Structure 1
């Protein structure tokens, strides 16, 4: 049996590949807005690329609980201040840079051309609220500016509201029964959304906050359940089986939909199975998922998720100016450009900014306590 630290390192390394796959799934889902190629017609499983966001919500609940839940019960007065600062250091630097660049792109070209920027008061308000991670809290009717950023606004809600409630509920009970109750509650929220709207991809009003709350609670409950189990070879075989099942489900989505079943629900069940197996797997398959290339893809997944829409817009603008055909090859090229940009953002912005913000915190609050990613 692995030690706690070995198990933590193992599941984090293996699961990084899935972070990369989920981010790419979302990127490919959005290509249809910037291409003339019929992506959904050629690859029907791309219709459900939004499920990649729910993977991140579930995974966030699991990892945040894994790292911080027991610390929250220690009752240190500075815990929540440190926790929020670490989460801001994780989410904010790349997001802020992209939002600033998008604002400049909207303001500068019209000014250089001698005209007024086509922005109104609502645009500026949306930019401000989204930049500072609270726009989703106002229950807007749709997304704005960098549309993928809605999810980090929603996730920030999970950090400030959902996780403290989970921590309070589990302060004297970190057992499997508490995990089952939390996971079931989160699952019921997701089922309620799918049952009422027919999909989990609800953009308007409270839908995104219900979505993140359900996914985060499901992930947190999974942590409490899985942390009581042993990491053994059987989990690696189950991981291989869950991966094969996930691939088959993706290619069978047209038939699942035609049968009147909820593809969203089937995919979420498959995600839960894959995440659970990844958490405890130890063997050849988890080792393969931990290979440097796949690990790197997971590391840049956050930057890729945030930058792919701005880069797709830029590629579309350049193609239109040069009168290039925006077909399949153009779509592949735009994805490659987004991946390269994400790598630069990860190396030049995300890593140094995160470390600088943490160093800054400890410079002014030099007390031992919170550790974690």
Structure 2
């Protein structure tokens, strides 16, 4: 299956939404950018079942461990570079404040713990890495359920699980944000949120197959308009509409997720004028992978840069937004190229460690 360029463009767009959400957090310009993360979870759920069906159709049903290892390698090299760079910066800040080298090592190691991807299990830090750790855990769960139940899970269980988990989340709190909050003191909400939205992405895969069988006059125009309206509504609401009462926030979050789901079903089906428009520009297709990886790198690097700015930068929100965005883009570019070399090194080390069975 060819890459969906529209999704990759949207990944970058929503990555910038997350950047400004964190930059503006706690200010009068604060936006509800946390909902952009649910876009990434829904897309990831769709990608999991798409990969599963592709492997199955090829007669190569791989296990959970092998799939997770493949998933991990898609971002671990880039994560390693980003974490190492910020670990050095964080250690330097600690040394500058104390003049003690042991504080440099302690602070640097604290940042290096991000590489272990286990924050949703309650270990190490609970900040930036919650999304990636939740993604890996939920991917493993969904892959196992697909191998065990296949279409029964994707068609029936996935939407039911989504609804049940969202009910649990909203029963415990007023919004799907605050990922490190413990639900009933048992499990972190970020993990349930990830599983709910990824199950919705799995169900979106089935809806795409169903929608492709429906034909009507000017369907590409109609679906394209619906697709554009859904995405624009989500973006406008994230930027400008912020309900304050508990009921309003629950309805708001649900509506944004539903709109993202409807829009993504149309986007993945490639049956709209948006798809036709994007296909006209071949250079976008050639940059599809860079857009997809770049969105993740932007997410990684901006959070580290914000953390450094909070310790060293002046109290100027306009300047902070400008500097964070520019530095995040530069770091993402460096991270992308460095990550490719790190990946080659990891693959070479694995190849040398595991002898060929020829």
Q: Same fold (TM over 0.5)?
A: yes
Aligned-residue offset at 1:315: 4.0
8 Å contact kept, 1:186–1:213:
yes
Listed as ranges, the gaps of 5+ residues in structure 1 are 41-45, 368-373
Q: Name the counterpart of 1:370.
A: none
Q: Name the counterpart of 1:185.
A: 161
Q: Name the counterpart of 1:43.
A: none
Does 1:301 pair with 2:320? no
Aligned-residue offset at 1:218: 1.3
Aligned positions, number: 338
Does 1:153 pair with 2:133? yes
**TM-score normalised to the size of structure 1?**
0.76
Aligned-residue offset at 1:60: 0.4
Alignment deviations for residues 221-275 of structure 1 (CA, whole Å, 9 cap, x no partner): 2112323432862433332232333344335623686983522112111111121
Q: Name the counterpart of 1:66.
A: 50
Cα separation, partners in 2 of 1:128 and 1:115, compared to 1, 3 Å: closer
The 5 A counterparts of 1:1-373 are 5=1, 8-9=2-3, 12-32=4-24, 38-40=28-30, 46=31, 48-71=32-55, 76=60, 79-108=63-92, 110-111=94-95, 114-115=99-100, 117-118=102-103, 130-138=114-122, 143=126, 147-170=127-150, 174=151, 178-202=154-178, 203-205=180-182, 206=187, 207-230=189-212, 233=220, 234-250=222-238, 253-254=241-242, 260=248, 262=250, 263-288=252-277, 295=288, 297-320=291-314, 326-346=316-336, 348-354=337-343, 357=346, 364=354
Cα separation, partners in 2 of 1:220 and 1:21, compared to 1, 3 Å: same
Q: CA RMSD in A?
A: 3.6
Aligned-residue offset at 1:62: 0.4
8 Å contact kept, 2:208–2:266:
no
Secondary structure at the aligned position of 1:254 is classed as coil
Cα separation, partners in 2 of 1:228 and 1:357, compared to 1, 3 Å: farther
Larger RCO: 1 or 2 (CA < 8 Å, sep 6+): 1
8 Å contact kept, 1:186–1:215:
yes
Cα separation, partners in 2 of 1:228 and 1:71, compared to 1, 3 Å: farther
Q: Distance in 1 between matches of 2:195 and 2:258?
A: 17
Listed as ranges, the gaps of 5+ residues in structure 2 are 214-218
